[in-house]
Amino acid sequence: MEISSKYSPQATEEKWYRHWIDKKYFHSTPDEREPYTIVIPPPNVTGVLHMGHMLNNTIQDVLIRRARMQGKNACWVPGTDHASIATEAKVVNKLAQQGIKKTDISREEFLKHAWDWTHEHGGIILKQLRRLGASCDWDRTAFTMDEIRSKSVVHVFCDLYNKGLIYRGVRMVNWDPVALTALSDEEVIYKEEHSKLYYLKYMIEGEDGYAVVATTRPETIMGDTAMCINPNDPKNQYLKGKKVIVPLVGRVIPVIEDDYVDVEFGTGCLKVTPAHDVNDYMLGDKHNLESINIFNDDATVSEAAGLYVGMDRMAVRKQIVKDLDAAGLLEKVEDYNNKVGYSERTNVPIEPKLSMQWFLKMEHLAKIALAPVESGDIRFYPPKYVNLYRHWLENIKDWCISRQLWWGHQIPAYYLPEGGFVVAENIEEALRLAKEKTGVDFSAEQLRQDPDCLDTWFSSWLWPLSLFDGIMNPDNEEFKYYYPTNDLITAPDIIFFWVARMIMAGEEYQHKVPFNNVYFTGIVRDKRGRKMSKSLGNSPDPIELIDKFGADGVRMGMLLTAPAGNDLPFDESLCEQGRNFCNKIWNALRLVKGWTVDDNLSQPETAMIASRWFEARYNKILAETNDNLDRYRLSDALMGIYKLIWDDFCSWYLEMVKAPAGCSVDRVTYNETVTFFENLMKILHPFMPFITEEVWHLLQERTDGDDIIISQQPTQKTVDAKMLDMFGFAQDVINNIRKIRAEKNISFRQAVDLLVVDKDCNVSRDFDFVIMKLCNVEHVIYADEKPHDAFGFIVGAVEFFIPIADAVDVEAELKKLEEELNYTKGFLKSVEAKLSNERFVNGAPTAVVDKERKKKADAEAKIKVIEEQMAALK
């Protein structure tokens, strides 16, 4: 079989992905096997792949491929999110480029444009995931606004409303003046800012004096309806019962008293603007103050303000400071650091605003979502996020679920001509409820559906349920088989947006958790520790990385430094390391397939011992790999496999078993080597699927359907620990001989003898043939006396010597031995310190303590041998 000299990722990836699709290996239907289910965190429908997606989906693919190879019925459901705010903003911008304003067209016309945009740009990210190797069941691809998901959302809204959990009311909300919609608290990102604190003079009505108020927002004084002081503040007692005049505005407002005011902040006097600050709103409600809304929806000043009408809020701040100063009403300005809330989507400061919105009561849902995480029914990896999760749920506020957008699920509330409303899943149901409520037969035209749509997360929180139609048809076979799902892979920044709410929905509608484990990925950062983003220009294009390094190379690069919950310091050199690993595997394949096999040859002793050792080594790493994967330590699992292949298989095993140049290898060794190679590819396949499938098919002829993707993972066997210890000893011997050859410039072609002084018979002679082959040792001689004129080294408590014809440089040998002696004494000291610690000796497992005691005994024996060698040289 002709194997090309270089591995070609592009050709391999395209070939095998098409093969897997054609064979329907990714597709799942319920059967008698144990199901293993993952639902994809749905990316924005019009989004493109970024490094966070790469990390998240690589991890999901590793888990789903492993489950498939464990004989489970693996089902990874893909899909996309309609992303109300982001998608609507893109459609509005596109229309603006055509000279069309959203306000100039009907909702139906706008939605047609939105659907056209979605069909044109949607699904790109799912196609890109194919390049990564994602083995999703593409036949199940869902969209949060497709028919099943939309019906589920509307049904849940109506159900929760009927349960008294959804209500409508005027509340202070977070308003996004660019997206022109309310936001939930979780969609507000607080940023530390270098602001200014402005000290304004409020003249006392009927007196010459004034009070000073410190504020960061002088542009809101047109909405002031009171000044508040703390009744226990001695410095402001003179203001009790008085009235003050709002500067520039001229409005007379009362001085009220409340313990809420912090006497240490500013002057202890607080301007109260109930319509534009959440705390002021509560004060206004408590003291029955007027609310004056001075901002339009786009954060320009409204007619109600009376001043600066039509100006943007930030422009007003600059102008009003000048005007206050000119009027002698600005006492001073100080630098001030404070946190300002920004819209997560549009990155503009949010505006607190009184608004009629729809809310979901969260107290009941928070309780049912906290219990399974605290009981361990749902496990977080890493577990540090449990405390964060608990804190949020214990301090939760009602969820503002309405958005002033058209793209999304329209709220199923219908307003009646004479006032009031009904909540219904469709217009027919609404007409029936309206008649029950009023006794009037209305026509569909007479009812007006609420124009707002629901928060995008109100559809996403149902994702594990709605993907299998578990809301509308909870008794269907697929839902009962696949739900609850197994693992959720997601970023910690949506633990509240999505993870907590999915748990709420699962418990509310099925009394079951939606998944058993949550693996939180870290944030992908650049070499300087900055979060990767388009604005910083520090995020590589994932598809370009795949073109350059191959999908397997990129997957390995992402996973090697991706511990659960910790940030990923990404560097392109990691992908290069992945590509180099592919080349290493490819070269090993070419070596093995380039061997000629002689069926008449018997297996050499070197190959026999090498085979026994590698099998033991493989079983040890297999056990560690399974343990690491069971605990979601993917980086550790991959690194173990990487070293097993690069170091143990390529650098040690193949060197031990390959025949001399021009010679053939025996059939037993060849077959064992191919089997080892196959088993290595099996455990590597979930991480690097393409090259492993290619190597699998090149190692030997395969029948149709004999593909690595559906092969069974190797069975874990007992580890021969004694064999591993013996080979570890032999490795140290080999490395020391190689070191002496290099230091003394002894050519590998020059055969040497090895003299072993092993008075206590500590050395197994099983590896003598291996040492002889790998080090070109002509004879291994066991002796009782140390030779003269020989280079020596020590492994454990055993002395080894390489006799030489030339005189030994005594001074150089003494210097080398002294360095080794000092190092060994330092090592012994550290071991003794550990063993003198009672907490360690009494608390650590017996095997660990015994290991430390053996280290102590070996170090003491080695020191004795070194000192004897030094004495002999002197």
Tokens of residue 110, six digits: 């706008």
Mean pLDDT of 362-378: 96
Instruction: Give yes or no for a contact between 716 and 626, defined as CB atoms under 8 angstroms apart.
Output: yes
Percent of the chain surpassing pLDDT 90: 77
* pLDDT confidence of residue 568: 83
Instruction: List pLDDT tens digits, range 472-487.
Output: 999 999 999 999 999 9
What is d(CA 261, CA 465) in angstroms, rounded to the nearest whole number? 47
Owner of token pair 């391999």:
12
Average pLDDT over residues 57-63: 97
535 confidence band (pLDDT: 50, 70, 90): low
User: Any idea which residue has 């308003």 for tokens?
Assistant: 175
pLDDT reading at 807 higher than 60: no
H helix runs in 193-250, sequence order: none
CA-CA distance, 753 to 737, in Å (whole number)? 10
The answer to whether 552 and 582 are in contact (CB under 8 A) is: yes
Q: Name the token pair of 247.
A: 């500067």
| Separation between Cα atoms, residue 333 and residue 320, nearest integer Å | 13
Is 257:230 a contact under the CB 8 Å cutoff? yes
Cα dihedral 114→119→123→128 (10° resolution): -110
Which comes out higher in pLDDT, residue 570 or 613? 613
| Angle, in degrees to the nearest 10, between helices 542-549 and 572-593 | 30
The confidence band for 552, taking pLDDT boundaries of 50, 70 and 90, is: very high
Give strand pairing partners of 38.
Answer: 76
Q: What share of the chain in percent tops pLDDT 70?
A: 99
DSSP string of 415-453, one letter each residue: E-TTS-EEE-SSHHHHHHHHHHHHS----GGG-EE---E
Q: What is the pLDDT of residue 804?
A: 75
**Residue 534 clears pLDDT 70, i.e. is over it:** no
Cβ burial of 693 (10 Å; 0-12, 13-18, 19+) is buried
CB atoms within 10 A of CB 537: 7
The pLDDT value given to residue 553: 97
| The length of the chain, given as a count of residues | 874
pLDDT for 812-840, tens place per residue?
A: 878 888 898 999 999 999 999 989 998 88
Between CA 64 and CA 69 the distance in angstroms is 9
Mean pLDDT of 444-449: 95
Q: Per residue in 397-425, pLDDT tens?
A: 999 999 999 999 999 999 999 899 999 99
Contact in structure between 229 and 261 (CB atoms under 8 Å): yes
Structure tokens at 732: 């140290």
pLDDT score, position 1: 62
Q: Residue 224 in contact with residue 271, Cβ under 8 Å?
A: yes
Residues 6 or more apart whose CB falls under 8 angstroms from that of 32 comprise: none
CA dist., res. 271 & res. 254, Å (int): 11
> What average pLDDT does this structure show over 584-594?
97
**Residue 183's closest CA among 369, 32, 290, 342?**
342
Sign of torsion, CA 148 150 154 159?
Answer: positive
Residue type, 802: I
Residue 689, φ and ψ in degrees, nearest 5: -70, -30
Cβ atoms < 10 Å from Cβ of 25: 18
Is residue 266 within 8 A of residue 201, CB to CB? The reply is no
Would you report the helix, strand and coil content of the chain in percent, each value rounded to 5? 50, 20, 35
What HEC string does 465-507 produce? HHCCCCCCCCCCHHHHHHCCCCEEEECHHHHHHHHHHHHHHHH
Choose from 78-92, 317-331, 852-866 the range with maximum mean pLDDT: 317-331
What are φ and ψ of residue 322, in 5° steps?
A: -65, -45
Average pLDDT on 461-466 reads 98
Q: pLDDT per residue over 284-318, tens digit each?
A: 999 999 999 999 999 999 999 999 999 999 999 99
Tell me the pLDDT tens digit for each residue of 245-283.
999 999 999 999 999 998 888 899 999 999 999 889 989
Note the pLDDT of residue 37.
Answer: 98
Q: How far apart are the first and last CA of the chain?
A: 62
Q: Maximum Cα–Cα distance for the chain, whole Å?
A: 118
> Which residue in this structure is represented by tokens 């608990």?
390
